[in-house]
């Protein structure tokens, strides 16, 4: 109810800005392809993201408003190892959503032997959002299975790149197979989540990636949930 009321207020207070907006949400999905992700795990995350995008729950959320959403997807790993998978696509019809999911499903991994340079990955995402379609909200999803281990971290990225008005959510792939992963959830909570309503979803290994992605996308794309919360929270 709070979100619906606040959105209605925004429509009344800023009718010109709302009329100029081509969509309600510019959403960037960032996929981890660092060396800790093996070939089988990479296939699970690409397939999981594609399947989540066309799930019934996510499809309902995408088309729950007259205003469409804009979607982009990229992969990240080392300092200079980011690759665009899906450039900005306005999701106005079911065919648009299917094309986006197929693009992700058919994509091929660009790098497989670089460390986890999360600050650089976030910087790439900020640049992508700067050329996004005009939308009411901007969200970047940082998915990963490890903490930053090369270059500057997320907090320095937020200070150095244009993240004003951007919410950064997290998807932690927490297998807990290695000592570094034990603190991964705490790292995301403290360092990665950013902006109004930021939240975290945890996948219990890459086999659970599709479920976690579906939960996250449904929450982000359902109109009453966008920007609803004032503090970071976790989802299952």
The per-residue pLDDT for range 107-138, each reduced to its tens digit, is 998 877 777 889 999 999 999 999 999 999 99
Token pair listed for 195: 């902006």
The 8 Å CB, 24+ separation contacts for 213-218 are 213/48, 213/49, 213/52, 213/143, 213/171, 214/51, 214/52, 214/55, 214/57, 214/58, 216/141, 216/169, 216/171, 217/52, 217/53, 217/58, 217/61, 218/55, 218/57, 218/58, 218/61
For 187-208, what is the mean pLDDT?
A: 94
The pLDDT, as a whole number, for residue 234 is 63
The separation between CA 210 and the C-alpha centre of its own chain, rounded to angstroms, equals: 14
Q: What is the mean pLDDT of residues 64-76?
A: 95
Contacts with 106 (C-beta within 8 Å, 6 or more apart), sequence order: none
- State yes or no: pLDDT of 31 exceeds 50: yes
User: Tell me: the pLDDT tens digits for 75-110?
Assistant: 988 888 899 999 999 999 999 999 999 999 999 988
Contact criterion met (CB below 8 Å) for 86 and 106: no
> Using 50, 70 and 90 to split pLDDT, how confident is the model at 236?
low
Residue 224: pLDDT above 80? no
What's the number of CA atoms in the CB half-sphere (13 Å) around residue 108? 0
Average pLDDT value for the chain: 85
Indicate the pLDDT class of residue 171, thresholds 50, 70 and 90.
very high
Residue 187 has a pLDDT of 92
Q: SS3 for 107? A: coil
Q: pLDDT at residue 166 above 90? A: yes
Q: Which strand ranges, in their side-by-side order, compose the sheet holding 82-91? A: 82-91, 69-76, 23-32, 135-144, 166-173, 199-203, 233-235
Strongest mean pLDDT among 6-10, 73-77, 125-129, 201-205: 125-129
């Amino acid at each position: 109810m709070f979100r619906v009321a606040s959105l209605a207020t925004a429509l009344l207070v800023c009718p010109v800005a709302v009329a100029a907006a081509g969509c309600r949400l510019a959403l960037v999905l960032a996929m981890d392809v660092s060396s800790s992700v093996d070939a089988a795990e990479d296939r699970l995350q690409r397939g999981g993201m594609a399947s989540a995008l066309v799930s019934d729950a996510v499809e309902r959320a995408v088309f729950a408003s007259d205003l469409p959403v804009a979607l982009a997807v990229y992969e990240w790993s080392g300092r200079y190892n980011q690759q665009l998978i899906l450039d900005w696509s306005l999701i106005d019809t079911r065919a648009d959503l299917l094309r986006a999911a197929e693009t992700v499903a058919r994509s091929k991994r660009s790098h497989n032997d670089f460390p986890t340079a999360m600050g650089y990955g976030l910087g790439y995402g900020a640049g992508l959002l700067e050329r996004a379609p005009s939308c009411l909200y901007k969200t970047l999803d940082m998915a990963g299975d490890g903490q930053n281990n090369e270059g500057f971290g997320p907090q320095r990225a937020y200070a150095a790149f244009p993240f004003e008005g951007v919410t950064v959510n997290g998807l932690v792939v927490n297998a807990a197979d290695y000592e570094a992963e034990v603190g991964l959830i705490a790292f995301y909570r403290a360092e990665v989540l950013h902006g109004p309503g930021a939240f975290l979803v945890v996948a219990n290994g890459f086999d659970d990636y599709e479920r976690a992605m579906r939960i996250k996308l449904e929450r982000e794309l359902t109109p009453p949930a966008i920007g609803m919360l004032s503090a970071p929270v976790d989802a299952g």
